[in-house]
Amino acid sequence: MLNVSTAKALQDAGLAWKPGELDYFALPMAGFEDQVFVINNMTIMAEPIRGRLAITFHGTVEWALDHVWAGEVIWIPREDQLRELLEERLLGEQQPAIVFSTTRFGYRCDIRYRGQPLAFEAFSAEETYALALLHVLQSP
């Protein structure tokens, strides 16, 4: 799973989120720093309240939190979501635009962005894709 601080960096770089089934998220609130939640259409759902998208908590959640606004949570994209987001942003690049491989210490993602070859390495596949995506999002 992607590190929450990396997910926050993606959010700060402008990565938009449309909450969906089985999406992971964290609450940037005291006491919840180490908890990850998942939208599951049973106890945690994404639904509109007064015209705004909210993440709502129903029934079996241990603490009394009714809802938080979607914009106040940190989306933690899965590996498949990160790969798809990166692929979307690399459309039109010379193929192959992405080459993903294992290394001795984790993973490597080679991309071609604006004609330039770039490489990113991390211990997990999610972090590796996230580093590449973060670079693309932060480029002027």
Burial 102-135 (b: 16+ CB within 10 A, else e): eeeeebbbbbbbeeeeeebebeebbbbbbbbbbb
Name the more confident of 52 and 32: 52
Taking the C-alpha atoms of residue 116 and residue 76, their distance in angstroms, rounded to an integer, is: 28
User: Are residues 71 and 93 located together in one domain of the fold?
Assistant: no
User: Are residues 17 and 62 located together in one domain of the fold?
Assistant: yes
Q: What CATH number should be reported for the domain holding residue 118?
A: 3.30.160
User: Are residues 97 and 66 located together in one domain of the fold?
Assistant: no
pLDDT greater than 50 at residue 62 = no
User: Are residues 99 and 56 located together in one domain of the fold?
Assistant: no
108 has which bridge partners?
101, 121
Domain endpoint, select from 76, 93, 112: 76
User: Are residues 68 and 84 located together in one domain of the fold?
Assistant: no
Taking the C-alpha atoms of residue 84 and residue 109, their distance in angstroms, rounded to an integer, is: 13
Domain endpoint, select from 76, 100, 125: 76
Q: Which pair of tokens denotes residue 26?
A: 């964290």
Least confident of 26-30, 122-126, 128-132: 26-30
**Which range of residues forms the domain containing residue 109?**
79-138
Q: DSSP secondary-structure letter at 59?
A: S
pLDDT greater than 60 at residue 61 = no
Q: If you average pLDDT over residues 24-47, what whole number do you get?
A: 87
Q: Backbone phi, then psi, for 93, in 5-degree steps?
A: -75, 155
User: Are residues 58 and 89 located together in one domain of the fold?
Assistant: no
pTM value surpassing 0.85: yes
pLDDT of residue 34: 81
Model pLDDT for residues 70-104, shown as the tens digit of each residue: 999 999 999 999 999 999 999 999 989 999 999 99
Taking the C-alpha atoms of residue 22 and residue 89, their distance in angstroms, rounded to an integer, is: 23
Non-local (6+) Cβ contacts of 45 within 8 A are 39, 55, 56, 58
Strand order in the sheet with 107-113: 98-102, 107-113, 116-122
User: Are residues 62 and 18 located together in one domain of the fold?
Assistant: yes
Q: How many CB atoms lie within 10 A of CB 74?
A: 20
Q: What is the number of domains present in the chain? A: 2
User: Are residues 54 and 90 located together in one domain of the fold?
Assistant: no
pLDDT of residue 59: 67
User: Are residues 25 and 47 located together in one domain of the fold?
Assistant: yes
